[in-house]
Amino acid sequence: MSSGLKVLHIAETVRGGIATYLNELHPHQSASFGPGNVHYVVPSDHRSDLVNIADDAITTFPRDGRSVLGLFRMLSATIRAVRQLQPDIIHLHSSLAGFVVRPVLWFASRHTRIVYCPHGWAFGRETGRLSHDVTKFTELALSPLTDRIICISESERADAIRAGIAADRLVLVHNGISKQRPMLDTRAAPWRSDKIKVLFIGRLDRQKGYDLLIDAARALGNLLDVRLIGASVVSKFNVDDLPANVSLLGWMNRNEIEAELDQADLVAIPSRWEAFGLVAIEAMRAAKPIIAFRIGALPEIVEDDVTGVLCDEVSPDKLVEGFQRASQLDLPAVGQAGYSRFARLYDIRQTHRNLTQVYADVLHIQKTEARRQPKLQSDFSNNLRP
């Protein structure tokens, strides 16, 4: 695609996987589409999560938790950015941005193509029946207001089709990251332990299953030494309830995370639901084996007993069994198998090429519609003649 394409990314929150997604993608989109043509709308308290992206490429909005006021501010910031940038593509990230922005922009900015990536369907999460039904109905109702819906895993695409979303509106684009690991922070304290060194990276919220990991670590005090990188975003985390073999490190920058990852023996991804799991491919890039539940896209990424261990049921007991099974494996060899799989399947350059094709496809549809419009008007006029 020729340079000059203008893309506006919008997210209600970026902390965690979406920030990684955007940080990895930005240099490729910026190089392809031209300096100043890739812009972002993100909450002001998450601005620092976007690294090596200039301030003039980012519009921020104040956000005090997830509230109606915060969503209104996101919408206002989006409208300002649209007026300023006049984007060709608006790329929405996650369900709240999709719910709020799509209806307004579909009617207010019809010349702009809307691409939406849910990063995990809201109706696929662990919620009550009413919330599940409402979010599924909303996604189905809003899908016609979207030129393309990007699914980051085959399981996410299958869930969309089961929900009634038209298959021809869906496109599968796997997440990817650079093959080049970020520099390791040389100031990291050595992680010395005779136990299996287990690293968790992510939000300390129910979705990510950190509590299941803590329960398993408590049961396996003689086997595991666990470190948690992250903090709570949605729920509250009780730091006083940690067993002696679990340490909380808080949020870290990418270089600090890589240093901890380098010292780990095993990466735990105990999510209750997961659309993709960027941490999985980050672990594979670092040649680290993975332990996870057999949910969402994780079975598409992790090969059981080859690149990691998959547990068949989301529970602390099954996680304990998984760790016991992992302790019998040659973990460095399993990690190397994971790196080979990563290098073959999850390169960010492929993600960028696929997204660029999605943009090209929806812009081609727009041009086709524009060419057809005069003919339709002519046909309509002719039909009115006696």
Domain ranges of the chain: 7-178+347-378, 196-345
For residue range 22-50, list pLDDT tens digits in order: 999 999 999 999 989 999 999 999 999 99
CATH number for the domain running over 7-178+347-378: 3.40.50.2000
For residue range 54-82, list pLDDT tens digits in order: 999 999 999 877 788 889 999 999 999 99
The predicted structure's pLDDT at residue 144 = 94
The predicted structure's pLDDT at residue 289 = 98
Confidence of residue 274 (pLDDT cuts 50, 70, 90): confident
> Which amino acid is located at 16 in the chain?
G
Please name the residues in contact with 67: beta carbons below 8 A apart, sequence gap of 6 or more. none
- Please state the pTM of the whole predicted model: 0.79
Higher pLDDT among residues 328 and 69, named by residue: 328
The predicted structure's pLDDT at residue 277 = 81
Name the superfamily (CATH) of residues 196-345: Glycogen Phosphorylase B; (3.40.50.2000)
Confidence of residue 237 (pLDDT cuts 50, 70, 90): low
The predicted structure's pLDDT at residue 370 = 43
Same topology, domains 7-178+347-378 and 196-345? Answer is yes
- Mean pLDDT across 331-345: 95
- Mean pLDDT across 203-227: 94
Cβ atoms 22, 47 nearer than 8 A: no
For residue range 162-213, list pLDDT tens digits in order: 999 999 999 999 999 999 998 999 888 899 999 999 999 998 888 899 999 9
Higher pLDDT among residues 119 and 2, named by residue: 119
Confidence of residue 235 (pLDDT cuts 50, 70, 90): low
Check whether 134 has a pLDDT greater than 80.
yes
Check whether 373 has a pLDDT greater than 70.
no
For residue range 275-301, list pLDDT tens digits in order: 788 899 999 999 999 999 999 889 999
- Mean pLDDT across 352-359: 96
Provide the percentage of residues in the chain whose pLDDT is more than 70: 90
